Every structure is written in C-alpha cells, then in structure tokens.
C-alpha cells in the first residue's frame, strides 16, 4: 500500500450506541457517540427501540464525526463497519449505511468483528494507553460477552475461555435490579462498592471447569440472600447498600482474576489486556495493575473512551485491514453471531 495518510470512517451500531469515528492512520481524529437513554425505563436494551434510534442518529453522528475531524467525505479511503456480533436490527442500520456510503463514494468497504475490535482498540495510537506485544492474553468483558482470548497477531486469535450463560456485565445489571438500582447498574455498583466493605458478605464462586465462566449461579445466590435478609429486615438493602455492592464486586473480580491467573499459567503468557465496557470498572483495573507485582504480569488497560462500544475501535481494525487490502464486497450482510 502507499505510504500516504489513510483516512478511515468507522461506524458502530451493534447494540444501543450509535457511533462514528474518523481515523488518520492509527490516530483518532474524532469519535462521536450518541447514547440511547430510552432503555433506562425498561431496565435493559429493547432491540426494536434500539434499531429505530440508530436510524434517527446515524446521519447526524457521521456528519459530526467528519466535522470534528475536519475531513471531507471525498478524502476518505475506506468505510469500516461492525458486521457483528450484536442485535440484528441495530447491525442492519450500520451495515446498510456503510454499504451505501462506500458505494456512493466508490471506496472500499471493510467488515469488522465487534469483539476483535475491543481487543485491537489497544493498538490505537494514544498517549493514554500502551500497545501490547504479541502474544498476549485478552479478556473481553461487557454486557453481552466474557471471553479470554490468546492473541498471536492482529488477526490470529483463539478463544480459550468464555461464559456458558450470563456475561459479567449482566451479572452487574441483574444484581443491580435485585437491589433496586437503575439500569445500567454496573457503574453505580462500582461507585457504591468503593464506599463499602468487600468482605462484609460472602457469595459463592461458581465451579466451572477449564477457563469458562458462569455468572447465573451468582445472580441466583444474590437474589436468595437479599430475599432472606429483607424478610428479616425490610430496610436491609438501604442500611447495607455499600457493603452489599462491595461484596458483589469483590466476588465478581475474584472470579475474573482466578480465570486469568489460570489462563496465564496454562499458556505461559504474562502480557494481559482487557477490553469491553466492564473494563472501565475501577476494581478490575486495580486488580489487573496489582497483578503486575503479584504475578509478574504486564497489564494493558484501555483508555476509558475506548472501553464502551465506540467507532474508534472499529476504525483501528479497519485501518489494519486496509493495510492488508482485506476488503469486503457489497453482498455482505449483518451477522448477529459473527465469529472471529
């Protein structure tokens, strides 16, 4: 490929955030995200409402991304978009828009796997984060996914562990619902946990073979615990909220850490990177940094802006694929269960 600057427009619409970003080579020029507040009233993402909101947001979000980057669409070299995994209705909006724009501008179209993008977000050129060296272990933790991945190269990845039921983000949100906290509950539990005693209450850790995860049993244990305690004391949650949150978070972090330690020991890889929305959690970030001293790890923690669903991470994958001339064609369709 030519050594001239490459401008990539990236589009992310896999769930409930509409995002567009412009990258100049590996550097982010803009990263615009439109959040959908409508789901808060339902305690979770409503797929039909999400896809309708994407239709409303995608044109102004792309327009703003180009404006912030100070780039004309005629300067773009390619369009990168999230093909999957995600909610089918949401993916269709981003996929259709990307295909149409690429066709209209007569420039290459690049499909991106959303989970791969969470991992490769570490390769965005940004002073706020460091780029891991191959091979490394990546843990993707979000509302819909929990995976441990061996990353040998940008596009040579192997999933060696994943959840068999709920994702870690769901464990936070469902625990929050039990406690009467608003959706999304993860950041609220994290904040309250910092004010509580993590050893005030003990919750069981699931016994799952190998490197896989399970969080549904923990959710059930928390439900039964709260029901028992509130039957004895109706004010139990209000009087102990910080300690309950701290204990829940302590258990979740230990589950994650145990599997990471096991994966590191099995593979002999001590370079660890995290990604996904839950990687913004303060306790998980601290546990990973503490692992540098305790276990000799080299930890890579993404910038907060690149943790949640965002188009910048789609853009860096698009740039890396552009360099390989790994393009897709206009026959491509969204894939809600897209594997890498």
* Within a domain: 335: no
156 and 287 share one domain: yes
236 and 201 share one domain: yes
Position with higher pLDDT, 233 vs 2: 233
Give the tens place of pLDDT for each residue, 270-327.
999 999 999 999 999 999 999 999 999 999 999 999 999 999 999 999 999 999 999 9
173 and 158 share one domain: yes
Cα angle value 63/66/112 (rounded, 5°): 95
* Within a domain: 268: yes
Query: Binding site residues for Fe cation, as ranges?
Result: 114, 118, 309
Q: How many domains would you assign to the chain? A: 2
Give the tens place of pLDDT for each residue, 128-179.
999 999 999 999 999 888 999 999 999 999 999 999 999 999 999 999 999 9
Q: Are 134 and 153 in contact (CB under 8 A)?
A: yes
158 and 219 share one domain: yes
* pLDDT mean over 55-81: 97
172 and 275 share one domain: yes
101 and 149 share one domain: no
- As given in the structure block, the two tokens for residue 287 are 């546990």
149 and 84 share one domain: no
Query: Binding site residues, as ranges?
Result: 114, 118, 140-144, 173, 186, 190, 281, 309
Q: How many residues does the chain have?
A: 340
pLDDT score recorded for residue 73: 96
User: Which residue segment(s) compose the domain that 248 sits in?
Assistant: 136-301
Q: Are 11 and 20 in contact (CB under 8 A)?
A: yes
Residue 270 and residue 299: Cα distance in Å, rounded?
A: 8
156 and 277 share one domain: yes
pLDDT score recorded for residue 1: 46
pLDDT exceeds 70 at position 3: no
Q: What is the average pLDDT value for the chain, to the nearest integer?
A: 95
Query: Binding site residues for substrate, as ranges?
Result: 140-144, 173, 186, 190, 281
CA dihedral 284, 288, 290, 294 (to 10 degrees): 130
Give the tens place of pLDDT for each residue, 82-130.
999 999 999 999 999 999 999 999 999 999 999 999 999 999 999 999 9
21 and 112 share one domain: yes
Q: What is the CATH number of the domain that holds 196?
A: 3.30.420.40
317 and 295 share one domain: no
pLDDT score recorded for residue 340: 84
141 and 274 share one domain: yes
78 and 165 share one domain: no
């Amino acid at each position: 490929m030519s050594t001239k600057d490459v401008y990539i427009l990236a589009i992310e619409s896999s769930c409930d955030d509409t995002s567009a970003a412009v990258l100049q080579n590996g550097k982010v020029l803009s990263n615009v995200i439109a959040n959908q507040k409508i789901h808060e009233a339902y305690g979770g993402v409503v797929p039909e409402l999400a896809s309708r909101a994407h239709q409303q947001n995608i044109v102004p979000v792309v327009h703003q991304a180009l404006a912030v980057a100070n780039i004309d669409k005629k300067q773009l070299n390619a369009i990168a978009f999230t093909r999957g995994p995600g909610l089918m209705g949401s993916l269709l909006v981003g996929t259709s828009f990307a295909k149409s724009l690429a066709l209209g501008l007569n420039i290459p179209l690049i499909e991106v796997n959303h989970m791969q993008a969470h991992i490769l977000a570490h390769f965005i050129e940004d002073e706020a984060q460091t780029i891991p060296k191959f091979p490394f272990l990546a843990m993707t933790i979000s509302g819909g996914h929990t995976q441990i991945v061996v990353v040998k190269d940008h596009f040579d990845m192997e999933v060696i562990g994943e959840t068999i039921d709920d994702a870690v983000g769901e464990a936070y949100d469902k625990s929050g619902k039990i406690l009467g906290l608003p959706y999304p509950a993860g950041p609220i539990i994290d904040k309250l946990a910092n004010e509580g005693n993590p050893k005030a209450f003990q919750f069981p850790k699931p016994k799952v073979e190998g490197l896989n995860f399970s969080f549904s049993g923990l959710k059930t244990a928390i439900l039964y615990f709260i029901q028992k305690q509130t039957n004895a004391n109706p004010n139990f949650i209000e009087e102990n909220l910080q300690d309950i949150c701290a204990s829940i978070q302590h258990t979740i972090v230990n589950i994650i850490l145990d599997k990471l330690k096991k994966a590191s020991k099995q593979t002999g890889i001590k370079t660890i990177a995290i990604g996904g929305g839950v990687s913004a959690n303060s306790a998980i970030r601290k546990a990973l940094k503490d692992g540098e001293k305790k276990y000799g790890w080299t930890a890579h923690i993404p910038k907060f802006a690149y943790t949640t669903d965002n188009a910048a991470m789609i853009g860096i994958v698009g740039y890396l694929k552009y360099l390989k001339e790994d393009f897709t064609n206009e026959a491509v369709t969204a894939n809600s269960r897209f594997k890498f």
